[in-house]
Amino acid sequence: MNSVTSSLPSADQKGIEHRCDVLIIGSGAAGLSLALKLADHCNVIILSKSDRNEGSTRYAQGGIAAVFDEHDSIEDHVADTLNSGAGLCDEAAVRFTAENAKDALNWLINHGVPFDTETNEDGEKRFHLTREGGHSHRRILHAADATGEALQITLNDAVSAHPNIQFLERYNAIDLIKSQRNKRGCNGAYVWNLEAAHVEVVRSRFVVLATGGCSKVYQYTSNPDVSSGDGIAMAWRAGCRVANMEFNQFHPTCLYHPQARNFLISEALRGEGAQLCHPDGTRFMHRFDQRGDLAPRDIVARAIDYEMKRLGADCMYLDISHKPADFVIKHFPNIYKKCLSVGIDITREPIPVVPAAHYSCGGVMTDFNAKTDLDNVYAIGEVAYTGLHGANRMASNSLLECVVYAAAAARHIMANLDNTCSHEPIAPWDESQVTDSDEEVIIQHNWHELRLFMWDYVGIVRTNKRLERALRRIQLLSQEIHEYYAHFRVSNNLLELRNLVTVAELIVRCAMARKESRGLHYNVDYPDMLPTPAPTVLRPDEHDQHTEPGSLST
């Protein structure tokens, strides 16, 4: 039943063809969880664009939401998520996720993820639960303030020890290989070997996109460099629908310091009493929302952005210095150390913070099995649109979504292992018509231009005119990049730029289609919410997608 994971000479005698049952593109919480759930039943290849630890999971600080407190309930978790999603969540998806949350957490616990514990008044040990914005109860399991790192290390250790899992590190997926016999089928992927600087083939019976989000499309982001929207762009080019790309979450509190690029200040600080304030110490969140500092992220990010622009300030401040120093250091040791390393003692002074692009609430459309529009292609984690997040992701639902939908995908793949097998030939990668580029500066220039105008025109606050300008610039860049891609050998920077300009266009077209302001999408020209909200869905058509990505349906 199972094929053998192997590396064989390809038809052109220059490349390599790898074979497996399941190709997982991405090595974060979603991809690693799925690999572990499948590996006893089939052979798996995990593709990692950089080091296997270098993804968004590693940098997640807060934790994972699930109902463990006897005073909490699944209904409350569902209600909080729906409320944070600003009326645009798929309630069935929210309920599916919340109902499977505890099983997902117990699976992680059984694998040894070291969630923090405490001793209650009766001397019994239990998990320490914290609270974050949008949650009505303490329901966040965490490992100090570095939950993602603990999760990444634990899952990586388990994956590395499994004989049926092969890791291909420093490989960047280029495109899915569509079946010539079945237009809804896929035979694997073309991949770029960064070390050898050539293209290889991975032939697989199933392909899973677990590539994370696309926040690198913005000039300022909390995400690592690998978050360039690769999975979304590949799925779009292969014919999959995408949805709700206009909802990109800007984390309200990233450390503002020239020596602290991309460092996130966890929302859990506000959950434990930290207060947002002006440079003079005046609190302001109560003027924007009755929940004050515990309002959902979209409201907090817009409030900080508004106050910065109103006052002409470079940043706002987050103050937890009124809490006992030992409490702060115990609960937030990594944030304490990082801030101290740049001269900020958070037990004595406030933290300078600014918003930054953080999380993509839209993505490749999937069902409850994590399956896309293609027969044997799945998407899990931030790359996917499941309907869970709606117009605004609630804190600590993201890692949860990764593990819940990894389990769903594993069940569906295992149920169909005997039904999916293709022996059709795969054409080798053709470089006969291209040459090496001597104009790498063009890629760098386009990369910086794209990210800058996306921040200026398609950021926290938008207007129709800004969106129109952004789209015109994207179309010109798309043409340049398409021509460059057609004439020169691929490189990692070119592949990422090609994907970024694709997701940028998807974001802008979704934003232009939404004639209202809701959640993370705020348009000055449409400040009110519509009475009957619906997701924004983009559908690929048969036109050349680098200039016309698809028809819109809202």
Residues that are catalytic: 297
Q: What is the DSSP letter of 144?
A: T
Q: Are 218 and 35 in contact (CB under 8 A)?
A: no
In sequence order, which residues have a C-beta less than 8 Å from that of residue 133 and are 6 or more positions away? 267, 270, 271, 291, 293, 294, 295, 296, 297, 300, 394, 395
**Residue 73 CB coordination number (10 Å):** 15
Query: What distance in Å separates the CA atoms of residue 551 and residue 241, rounded to the nearest whole number?
Result: 10
Cα-Cα end-to-end distance for the chain: 43
Report CA dihedral (227, 233, 236, 242) to the nearest 10 degrees. 30
Q: For the chain, give me the number of helices (H) and strands (E)?
A: 15, 22
| DSSP one-letter string for 343-383 | T--TTTSPEEEEEEEEEES-EEE--TT-B-SSTTEEE-GGG
Q: Are 381 and 29 in contact (CB under 8 A)?
A: yes
Query: What distance in Å separates the CA atoms of residue 179 and residue 182, rounded to the nearest whole number?
Result: 5
Tell how far CA 214 is from the center of its chain: 7
In sequence order, what are the beta bridge partners of 385? Answer: 365
Place of tokens 């950021």: 459
Interstrand relation of 44-48 and 165-169 (parallel, antiparallel or unpaired): parallel
Query: Which pair of tokens denotes residue 69?
Result: 């407190």
In sequence order, what are the beta bridge partners of 197? Answer: none
Interstrand relation of 377-379 and 198-209 (parallel, antiparallel or unpaired): parallel
Query: What distance in Å separates the CA atoms of residue 508 and residue 513, rounded to the nearest whole number?
Result: 9
Element (H, E) at 504: helix 492-513
**CA quadruple 37, 397, 265, 87: dihedral positive or negative?**
positive
Query: Which pair of tokens denotes residue 34?
Result: 């799925």
In sequence order, which residues have a C-beta less than 8 Å from that of residue 74 and are 6 or more positions away? 67, 95, 98, 99, 101
Q: Are 53 and 76 in contact (CB under 8 A)?
A: no
Query: What distance in Å separates the CA atoms of residue 437 and residue 493, rounded to the nearest whole number?
Result: 12
Tell how far CA 235 is from the center of its chain: 15
Q: Which amino acid is at 286?
A: H
Report CA dihedral (322, 327, 330, 333) to the nearest 10 degrees. 0
3-state secondary structure of 544: coil
Q: Are 33 and 400 in contact (CB under 8 A)?
A: no
**Residue 375 CB coordination number (10 Å):** 16
